[in-house]
Amino acid sequence: MKVLVTHSIKRTAMLGLLAVVFALTCSAQQPDKRHVTPVKPETNQVKPPPKGTDEKIIQQYISGDSAAAIEEARKDSLRRIYKHYPLITDLSIGLNFIEPLFMALGQTYASADINATLNMWNRIQPTVELGLGWAKTSPDDGNFTYKGKPSPYFKVGANYNFLFKNSPDYQVIVGLRLGYSTFSYDVREVHYWNSYWQELIHFGLTNQHSHALWGEAGVGLKVKLWDSISMGWLIRYHGIFNYGKNSNSRPWFIPGYGPRTSSLGLSLSVSYTLPLRHGKQSTE
């Protein structure tokens, strides 16, 4: 009998111990209670999309494709900031007058031209220049007087507008040109000392003919002055590919290029812009 009582006491103690351990375990697993500020629950109301939102974006939201809708909305916002201009944006007709102005101030040569520039997508700008060049000078380091008769020249090339995402009224451009001229000149009042005859020799060369082919690279600006009137300047670095040589002379001046030995040029043009807008202006 004593053995049964002892066994019962042990069982009761064991059950009590298990109950205590279970209670402690459950208490440890419960998180600390924290005070949470109540917030106003969200409603299921659908807010209308912003005015001007593309229909494609609205349909993506309705269909549940929110990720694609968000990406398309981001692209749409960029398109609103950066316009895509039509194929043909405008046409500018200009007059380059900087060298006649310099000649009025004492320069001994000049080239002047009329230029036409077609603005495509407000980015690529094919251009043509047609002009005349002339000269009359007695170089300080020479023993002659050079007279370049008024002769034509032309240039073809293109500009690239770095501000193509902005208004065409203001442009930062780089340009390339290929130029050609055929011209005539006189070399007069040539004099040199003949050491054999011990006398000063004078002579002249008239109706000398030549031609020249050259290339140019330039950088410049174009800004709107008023309404459709703009002004632009271009600093040009140029080099001669080929020119005609005569047996007794070399051209000192090339129309549209300047002195044959020079490597820099400058143009300053006032232009009138005709808005064309051929092709639909895109926002994509």
Are 77 and 168 members of one domain?
no
Cβ–Cβ under 8 Å, residues 164 and 186: no
Are 69 and 127 members of one domain?
no
Are 150 and 123 members of one domain?
yes
Are 167 and 264 members of one domain?
yes
Q: pLDDT for 134-149, tens place per residue?
A: 999 987 766 789 999 9
Are 234 and 218 members of one domain?
yes
Per the structure, how many domains does the chain have? Answer: 2
The residues near 18 (Cβ < 8 Å, ≥ 6 apart) are none
- Domain boundary residue among 64, 84, 104? 84
Would 147 be classed as within a structural domain? yes
Of 28-42, 56-70, 248-262, 268-282, least confident by mean pLDDT is 28-42
Are 190 and 63 members of one domain?
no
- Residue 165 has a CB neighbour count (10 Å cut-off) of 14
Would 14 be classed as within a structural domain? no
Nearest to 87 by CA among 56, 62, 120: 120
> 250 is in which domain, residue-wise?
88-278
Are 100 and 231 members of one domain?
yes
Q: pLDDT for 176-196, tens place per residue?
A: 999 999 999 999 877 666 666
Are 178 and 268 members of one domain?
yes
Q: pLDDT for 14-61, tens place per residue?
A: 666 566 556 655 555 555 545 445 545 555 554 555 555 666 666 655
Is 172 in a helix, a strand, or coil?
strand
**Whole-prediction pTM:** 0.68
Are 60 and 106 members of one domain?
no
pLDDT at 248: 84
Are 116 and 218 members of one domain?
yes
